[in-house]
A and B are shown apart, each in its own frame.
Chain A
Amino acid sequence: MAELDELIHQPLRLKIMAALHAQGAEPLEFARLKAITQATDGNLGSHLTTLEKAGYVEIAKDFVGKKPRTRVAMTPAGRKAFRRHVEYLREVVEGVGGE
């Protein structure tokens, strides 16, 4: 049976990972991620830092003209961990491995 990933399971981090996973290999801009997750700047930033420290996401900062841009992408490790977590959730719902 797959295991619960407590780092991903936090509600906002779960949304961040779901949004990034749906993007495939492409990174997501901070503003768009904020629109999808409906989080505040500070809250989103702090949870992204947690995910980055865990090696689940990569954050790249650059400039488009004079405008700063922050882009977030899921790492292969993050993708693997997210899939494992979703598998765990499905197993719990389906009652696999116990009860």
Chain B
Amino acid sequence: MGISRTEAASALTDIERTAGRSRELKGYQIAGPILMVWGVVWILGYTGMGLLPPEQWGMTWLPLDALGILATILMSRRGKNAARAGSGWKIAAGALTIMAFMTATYLVFQPTSLEPAIVYPGLMTGLVYGGVGIAFAPRFLWIGAGVFVATLVGFFFFQPWLAFWMAAVGGGGLILGGLWLRRA
């Protein structure tokens, strides 16, 4: 028994769609715990910013970011069988590129007050996750939008407690987002 060209084409479309959905859910399962790690990094980093003088902020974030990147590489290896080999390093390279861009922006624009420097990572995270969400995995769009809006709310309405706001709402939001991805 044979099948028509239309039927074969439709079956191939079904296969492609199902495989895409399967890879998307697997991606969420891997990304969820990574997002939760970054949530903890944010909580610790921003709490440090709230408690320590600005000259110590860099030394607070440096080890935390290094730890976050290392955890990202190790945890993304879980998906290595299904994903392309070396994807962990691509993620790390992407994270380093974003950090280099952010550092360059700080140096060029040199914010005259502390608040813009505090919220900038939140806005940048919202942008990056929004882009990832639009291009690949829709749930990231919602997480990115949440972080972006929460950051703006903190900047305009909670400036006296901005670092603690970012720790609680930004870091907590990333942890919740990670849980949501893991349950996908």
**How near does chain B come to A88, taking the closest CB pair, in angstroms?**
8
**How near does chain A come to B38, taking the closest CB pair, in angstroms?**
24
Taken together as a complex, chains A and B put the C-alpha atoms of A19 and B5 apart, in Å, by 23
**How near does chain A come to B75, taking the closest CB pair, in angstroms?**
15
Given contacts A4-B3, A6-B1, A92-B2, contact A14 B25 (CB under 8 A): no
Query: In terms of DSSP, what is the predominant structure of the interface of chain B?
Result: helix
Q: Which of B1, B12, B19, B20 has a CB less than 8 Å from the CB of A90?
A: B12
Binds B, one of A23-31, A54-62, A63-71: A23-31
Query: Which residues from 1 to 57 on chain A have a C-beta closer than 8 Å to any C-beta of chain B?
Result: 4, 6, 9, 11, 14-15, 18-26, 28, 32, 35-37
Query: In terms of DSSP, what is the predominant structure of the interface of chain A?
Result: helix
A19 & B8 in contact (Cβ 8 Å cutoff): no
Nearest residue, chain B, Cβ from A37: B18
B5 & A23 in contact (Cβ 8 Å cutoff): no
Q: Check B22 for interface membership: any CB of A closer than 8 A.
A: yes
Q: Which of B5, B12, B20, B82 has a CB less than 8 Å from the CB of A24?
A: B82
Taken together as a complex, chains A and B put the C-alpha atoms of A8 and B36 apart, in Å, by 39
Query: Which residues from 1 to 37 on chain B have a C-beta closer than 8 Å to any C-beta of chain A?
Result: 1-5, 8-9, 11-12, 14-16, 18-23, 25-26
B8 & A93 in contact (Cβ 8 Å cutoff): yes
Given contacts A4-B1, A23-B26, contact A93 B9 (CB under 8 A): yes
Q: Which of B3, B5, B14 has a CB less than 8 Å from the CB of A11?
A: B14
Nearest residue, chain B, Cβ from A90: B12
Q: Give B contacts to A, CB under 8 Å.
A: 1-5, 8-9, 11-12, 14-16, 18-23, 25-26, 81-82, 184
